[in-house]
Chain A
């Protein structure tokens, strides 16, 4: 096929060089693999920011604890901005240390309002030192894909260098082209503009038959569509979150209209490219020529994007509906519906005028709006321990001052003498010293003697705790009782002169004389 035969949208399937541009690229000696490898250029882009990252990580390391909270990435970018600004036409060729200090001091003060000149100077010197290093390049290996497999080529990075200014008779700092490239690549172009520009580039690539580059542009188109989608759903979510804070007609609607126009235009352009590709494929098939795989991939990718884009357009068109739906929901939502009221008229007087019996039952429901969320305080262990280990001599003083402690004491009442007497009577009548008596039979005797359920509980608890002159033992037999469960303890009467602690193997609570025990 001769070059003159080419239609405006033609890719080359012969062995000839693809286009003049490709030839030019090869003539310049750049590896075609690297120049078209999306990953390699992204690797380079990433390495460009390395000096900044290193400066930040050095500053935020443990060696400089006093600088915690200061964002050195931000300060580093500011420093680069300052240096580039001083290189602008009409200004001195580079920034002096004083320029940099002046530029950074405001930002440092924002992080550390109390920072003095010395600190600001130290921070500036540290940044300069770290960004420049020893005035050397940082060396990296960029991996590029080629037909023979991945190959690596060196890539050197230096953002700022120190030179001597004859004009100022002082050292100045200048930005390397890589610093300018870094700043430019960081500048955020509005998504819609970027997508429009990318579409033109894509068209141009397809027109000239540069399929590799066109695939790259299509990939970029996919990324931009993703970003566009995120922005649109962000707007819609903001509307859904609180319609009260957005002015739909003045703020949101024009934005959505613009997005819709853009989506329509991009979609039409993409459609044109897809049609051109399809025509070309058909033409190749008619001529019984093979279709390059890249062209098929490109068309598939663009068609997928197109269907995704159509869904996005539908979402934009339905944003109005979702706004109306949200308006219905949110206008009647409890929180959003709360209006600022005249407190006395709408709350205090009506509350004081409520019938008292109603207030008695309803007051608790008012606690939440009155107080708001409460964080439950945990027990103050220090205080509790102080109270527990307090010296007995001081106990009385503490009790007097502390209402809470009094309440606790009140709960732990002693057995009433009457009840204790009834318990002792049961024990006296039924417990034999040597044989011992089971708790179950004692409980039955208690029931016969008209002890209530609660009194029976107390009786069992008293047995566990122990009474003077009696001790209990556990032999593993289970208690079979209507109201209680546990071990069927055996209760013995102590022999005369038996040591109190000798029989303390029964229960842990049975060691020693109970505080409340009395003799009859």
Chain B
């Protein structure tokens, strides 16, 4: 009779750990920290957690040595994972035709917070406001536009993604702070950052009159060990497909 009880406890603990990881909980919770240490040290427990995650269409990102202070980061291992973001995730936050700019805003947020991802193994809680992130993204788009004009090699009919960023008005007439901004770049950046707060990747503090957003350590781990590389690889694939299309008449 001992066996089923042990399995029950083990299963419960594995699910508890996955729950913590999905919530991007802070490992200041003793239970969470204990489970992370067990995940690192006990082969059987680790196999169980990995197996459960796999079944749910999730994968645990290799946490490196800092897991007990960072927490475990998870990603979707499968497009059909029940946890994969759906189109509804952005349903109400951003105007329909501006939605393709959402990943660009995400990349803007990532590169604003972690400009030297390759070298920075250590995480630093750099503060930032939506306005600063928006300016960062726009300045790169402006720079790319200027470079394209100088080279004058791109046909004017072929619009590029940075032009979408530049087309979206920075702030609206009645919406200077971008709070209702389904139609402004500042509003989109704010919507994306608020979503990252909801997802527990960023935290907001009211240092002055304006809310300041700071990345949590788990976001650094997630971007460094997964999101950055995966985005680069996906973009490479999309780019290659686009090039093939251009070659084939």
* Interface residue ranges, A against B (CB under 8 Å): 69, 111, 234, 237-238, 241-242, 244-245, 334-336, 338-344, 346-360, 362-375, 403-404, 407
Contacts and interface: CB of A to CB of B under 8 A. Distances in A.
Contacts of A371: 85, 89, 106, 195-196, 199
Interface in B150-182: 158-165, 180
Interface stretch (B3-11, B96-104, B124-132, B205-213): B96-104
A233 B104 CA distance: 46
A340 B229 contact: yes
Contacts of A404: 92
Contact of B114 (A238, A343, A359): A343
B12 interface: no
Contacts of B164: 356, 359
Contact of A375 (B83, B90, B196, B222): B83
Given A241-B50, A359-B161, A404-B92, A352 B227 contact: no
B47 A237 contact: yes
Contact of B75 (A238, A354, A357, A369): A369
Given A352-B161, A354-B239, A363-B102, A373 B62 contact: no
B161 A354 contact: yes
A369 B238 contact: no
A356 B107 contact: no
Interface in B52-90: 58-59, 61-62, 73-77, 79, 81, 83-87, 89-90
Contact of A369 (B43, B47, B118, B227): B227
Contacts of B233: 338
B37 interface: no
A500 B214 CA distance: 63
Interface of B: 22-23, 30, 43-44, 46-47, 50, 58-59, 61-62, 73-77, 79, 81, 83-87, 89-90, 92, 99-104, 106-108, 110-111, 114-118, 140-141, 144, 158-165, 180, 195-196, 199, 201, 222-236, 238-239, 241-242
A378 B231 CA distance: 29
Contacts of B163: 356
19 contacts: A69-B30, A237-B43, A335-B77, A340-B118, A340-B229, A348-B108, A348-B140, A351-B161, A356-B161, A366-B106, A367-B102, A368-B75, A368-B84, A370-B107, A371-B195, A372-B201, A374-B83, A374-B89, A375-B23
Q: Which 6 A-B pairs have the closest CB atoms?
A: A373-B83, A338-B229, A366-B103, A370-B106, A346-B232, A363-B100
A348 B106 CA distance: 9
A438 B84 CA distance: 50
A372 B140 contact: no
A429 to B, nearest CB: 44
B148 to A, nearest CB: 9
Contact of B228 (A241, A347, A360): A347
Given A237-B47, A241-B47, A339-B229, A352 B144 contact: yes
Nearest to A344: B111
A352 B140 contact: yes
A259 to B, nearest CB: 16
A352 B76 contact: no
B195 to A, nearest CB: 7
A349 B90 CA distance: 23
Contacts of B227: 369-370, 372
A145 B27 CA distance: 52
B23 A358 contact: no
A309 B196 CA distance: 54
Contacts of B90: 367
Contact of B74 (A339, A346, A373): A373
Nearest to B19: A375
Contacts of B162: 352-353
A342 B118 contact: yes
B144 A349 contact: yes
A403 B93 CA distance: 10
Residue from B23, B73, B84, B161 having most chain A Cβ neighbours under 10 A: B161
Contact of A340 (B30, B103, B111, B224): B224
B38 to A, nearest CB: 14
Contacts of B61: 335
B160 A354 contact: yes
B200 to A, nearest CB: 10
Given A335-B61, A352-B140, A341 B118 contact: yes
B107 A348 contact: yes
A336 B87 CA distance: 28
Contact of A364 (B87, B107, B144): B87
Given A354-B161, A373-B84, A349 B232 contact: no
A234 B30 CA distance: 27
A292 B45 CA distance: 46
Contacts of B238: 354, 358, 362, 365
A352 B160 contact: yes
Contact of A370 (B62, B140, B158, B231): B231
A337 to B, nearest CB: 8
B100 A373 contact: no
Contacts of B106: 366, 370-371
A339 B108 CA distance: 20
A356 B81 contact: no
A311 to B, nearest CB: 21
Contact of B62 (A234, A245, A341, A363): A245
A350 B199 contact: no
B248 to A, nearest CB: 14
Residue from A335, A336, A338 having most chain B Cβ neighbours under 10 A: A338
Nearest to B242: A358
Contacts of B47: 237, 241
